[in-house]
Amino acid sequence: MLEGNRVSPISVRGFAVASATAVTAVGSVVGVASGSTAQTNDAEATAAETTLLADIPAGQQAQVQTESLSAQADVQAIAADASAKKDAEEAARKAAAQSAIEKKEAAEKAEKAAKEAKEREEAETKASRSSADFPVQSSYTVAQIQAMARQMVPADQFQCFSNIVDHESSWNYQAVNPSSGAYGLFQALPGSKMSSVGADWQTNPATQITWGLNYMNSRYDSPCGAWSFWQANHWY
């Protein structure tokens, strides 16, 4: 050692090697974080390390290299902590997004279930209505017959039901086909088959509606199923 605060050449060189190596590691970490390769700084630091290390006596090289590796380990630990924090934040973001999606899906399923339950309730209420629920009249207008049908046919099936009646009888419950004798709203052939629902099938449109709805449901699963068949064949 020299007098005062002077440092020996070996110590200076050792510090330089450790510093150069640490700079190399830091440059690499910063380069990764910023998206650059920092190739120039890495090359310069590596060259300096190689030159200075060769100039240090063999007995001192192990200590200098240990210090260099320790500095690198510190830098790598910092980088690992930063990477772990970033990964944790990304995982939390994905978990929050997935949770939001699941909650939305659950809400949509609950809404759909509630809607289906309401529709089933309405359908059951309408299905429980019969011709006996409507007062008997001497005659009925088209508007009155359609009002009856709306109370007996499920809402999502009414348009299909109406389409068939429009084509078959134009909502005339006393319509008769002069050639075949088919009768009523649905042109049942023979018309007497509607007596399975009520003896007043000739004069009561509610009785005919009940029969027609039962027929469509049993043969085509629904009025819309019957309407699809009618469109393809022009009969049902």
Question: Are 82 and 169 part of one and the same domain?
Answer: no
Question: Are 154 and 75 part of one and the same domain?
Answer: no
- Report the distance separating Cα 208 and Cα 168, nearest Å: 13
| 181 domain-assigned | yes
Question: How many domains is the chain partitioned into structurally?
Answer: 2
Other C-beta atoms lying within 10 Å of the C-beta of residue 51? 13
Q: What is the per-residue pLDDT across 156-204, written as a single tens digit (0 to 9) for each?
A: 999 999 999 999 999 999 999 999 999 999 999 999 999 999 999 999 9
Question: Are 155 and 218 part of one and the same domain?
Answer: yes
Is-cis flag, bond preceding 190, omega within 30? Answer: yes
Question: Are 206 and 140 part of one and the same domain?
Answer: yes
| 106 domain-assigned | no
**CATH number (domain holding residue 183):** 1.10.530
| 4 domain-assigned | no
CA 134-167-235 angle, 5° bins: 110
Question: Are 74 and 151 part of one and the same domain?
Answer: no
Question: Are 133 and 83 part of one and the same domain?
Answer: no
Give pLDDT, residue 10.
46
Question: Are 93 and 39 part of one and the same domain?
Answer: yes
| 104 domain-assigned | no
| 147 domain-assigned | yes
- Report the distance separating Cα 49 and Cα 71, nearest Å: 14
Question: Are 146 and 85 part of one and the same domain?
Answer: no
Q: List the chain residues with pLDDT less than 70.
A: 1-55, 58-59, 61, 115-131
| 154 domain-assigned | yes
Tell me which residue range forms the domain holding 23.
Answer: 9-98
- Report the distance separating Cα 70 and Cα 53, nearest Å: 16
The residue among 52, 76, 98 that closes a domain is 98
Give pLDDT, residue 39.
52
| 117 domain-assigned | no
| 37 domain-assigned | yes
Question: Are 22 and 80 part of one and the same domain?
Answer: yes
Question: Are 134 and 225 part of one and the same domain?
Answer: yes
Question: Are 147 and 226 part of one and the same domain?
Answer: yes
pTM of the full structure: 0.49
Question: Are 133 and 201 part of one and the same domain?
Answer: yes
